[in-house]
Structure 1
Amino acid sequence: MDTTGGAARARIVLVPGFWLGAWAWDEVAALLRERGHDVTALTLPGLEPDRADRGSVRLDDHVAAIEAAIIAGEEPVVLVAHSGAASPATVAIDRNVDRIARSVWVDTAPVVDGHAMDASFEGDEMPLEAAWEDELEQGSMQGLSDEQLDEFRERAVPEPAGAVRDAAALRDDRRLDVPATIICAAFSAADYRSYAEQGVPFLAGVLEHRALELVDLPTGHWPMWSEPRALAERIAEVAERA
């Protein structure tokens, strides 16, 4: 059913953050499809539950998977990235500027050249359990029910080390003019700007980008579960401007 009220149909690619597969977007994707949009949710390489060689996966493998989704159709895409997907999503935009209508950053931000999530990370993979207590203490899980927390722990897949350790290599400054929206969930838009101005490395792209807006969606870091309808509406509002 198309409930867009005549708004243009968009091609939307949803990229989940660390430990997640396409399943994380199930509710949001269904709501966007109800509005008439063409939606693809990705499971990035190494995030398949039965992947045997997870330690061999690099950031470029994640970038290549996003690029494949971008070029799979004729229309430019609205690229949506959550959390740790910021690095491969930024690189994919950098390499395909002319194929991106808009970008949406769900509680994350586009990265700058040379940024790595954790360049000193050791090992082949990062399991969710290694970060679980910190996530809880920092309020990341706000808004999630016990059932959602249990499902998260049960379905989470260790993040390949390459995605954590590898640095983003960016070359095309035109990416900075692609219309971008940050959906600020765990922190407010004001906090995002303040932290960027204080020099938080992960938010350096907030100061660099030339076509960026920040909108608030107060909840925790996982709004695809805590506020799926509100998140879908925010994404649709952006997509229907594309």
Structure 2
Amino acid sequence: MTHVILVPGFWLNGDSWATVTTALEAAGYHVEALTLPGKESRTADRSAVRLADHVAAVVERIDAAPERVVLVGHSGGGSIISGAADARPDKVERAIYVDTGPFGDGAVINDELPVESDDVPFPGWDAFEEPELVDMTPQVRQRFEEIAIPEPAGVARDPQHVSDDRRFAVPSTVIACSMTSVVLETLMADDHPYMRELAAMQDRSIVDLPTGHWPQLTKPAELAAEIVGIVEGRGAAGQVALG
């Protein structure tokens, strides 16, 4: 049975994957949607939580899995699953990056977001560009605001640490939402710093899923279908092979 570990991005916990989880389980997968340290509640103590703690939480679940795993990371969760793939390259069957990508050594997820004490609170919708907000209806925005949890500042600002070259052999797919595959290919061709890690992957691809930055909320059924297609090697409309 395919074992899928879902890692949320900033301000979200495992419950944000609920509809995707149900669809993947219906497809016969064993699914873990993680709530990472400091994200248990709005009142959780986040003062000592670092990026390494989030990576370690994913590695712990990889080690507990009875077989190789598929890692799915959304947004800031992309850095977390790439760190976990670096730590356990032989146990990761595939890494799937949802509107994000793997970060190389020394990269920071986002050190520009405002920090309040030890937290990075949700900054409000004005902080995002229009492509990120596609399909974010008033109802979806309200739901997001109801479940949003501050991000630990250490996770947002700590540098990524990866060092095992075997990570480049882990098959990697980007599900491109707010930025299309064409844009991402152009950035790679231009040697954009944030695309170098993906460009170095030996088996990489991009699948377009046109929507905003939070497809697990705006198009969860379509996102689940893309994940299944990627895992089962069926491909999808809009897939661009890069490796």
TM over 0.5: yes
Q: What is the one-letter code of the residue matched to 2:95?
A: S
Deviations, residues 173-215 of structure 1 (Å, cap 9, x unaligned): 1111111110011111011121233454333322222211011
Change (3 A) 1:120 1:139: closer
- 5+ residue gaps, structure 1: 1-8
Q: What is the one-letter code of the residue matched to 1:145?
A: T
Partner of 2:121: 127
2:42·2:150 contact (CA, 8 Å) conserved in 1?
no
Work out the CA distance in 2 between the residues paired with 1:230 and 1:12: 17
Q: What is the one-letter code of the residue matched to 2:67?
A: E
Change (3 A) 1:50 1:225: closer
Deviation at 1:120, TM superposition (A): 6.5
Partner of 1:5: none
Q: What is the one-letter code of the residue matched to 1:220?
A: G
Deviation at 1:145, TM superposition (A): 2.2
Change (3 A) 1:201 1:154: farther
Q: What is the one-letter code of the residue matched to 1:11?
A: H
Deviation at 1:139, TM superposition (A): 2.9
**SS of alignment partner, residue 64 of structure 2:** coil
2:131·2:179 contact (CA, 8 Å) conserved in 1?
no
Partner of 1:226: 218
Work out the CA distance in 2 between the residues paired with 1:177 and 1:147: 41
Q: What is the one-letter code of the residue matched to 1:124?
A: D
TM-score normalised over the length of structure 2: 0.90
Partner of 1:6: none
**How many pairs does the alignment contain?**
232
Matched ranges for 1:44-193 at <5 A: 44-119=36-111, 123-128=117-122, 130-135=123-128, 137-193=129-185
Work out the CA distance in 1 between the residues paired with 2:29 and 2:219: 19
Deviations, residues 62-109 of structure 1 (Å, cap 9, x unaligned): 011111111112200000000011122111110101110111000000
Aligned-residue sequence identity (percent) comes to 38
Work out the CA distance in 2 between the residues paired with 1:19 and 1:78: 22
Q: What is the one-letter code of the residue matched to 2:79?
A: S
1:10·1:240 contact (CA, 8 Å) conserved in 2?
no
Work out the CA distance in 1 between the residues paired with 2:63 and 2:198: 26
**SS of alignment partner, residue 140 of structure 1:** helix
Q: What is the root-mean-square deviation of aligned Cα atoms in Å?
A: 1.8
**SS of alignment partner, residue 104 of structure 1:** strand
1:82·1:107 contact (CA, 8 Å) conserved in 2?
yes
Q: What is the one-letter code of the residue matched to 2:149?
A: V
Work out the CA distance in 1 between the residues paired with 2:30 and 2:48: 32
**SS of alignment partner, residue 139 of structure 1:** helix
Work out the CA distance in 1 between the residues paired with 2:43 and 2:169: 37
Change (3 A) 1:223 1:119: closer
- 5+ residue gaps, structure 2: 235-243
Work out the CA distance in 1 between the residues paired with 2:133 and 2:111: 25
1:144·1:226 contact (CA, 8 Å) conserved in 2?
yes
Deviates more, 1:57-66 or 1:47-56: 47-56
1:126·1:159 contact (CA, 8 Å) conserved in 2?
yes
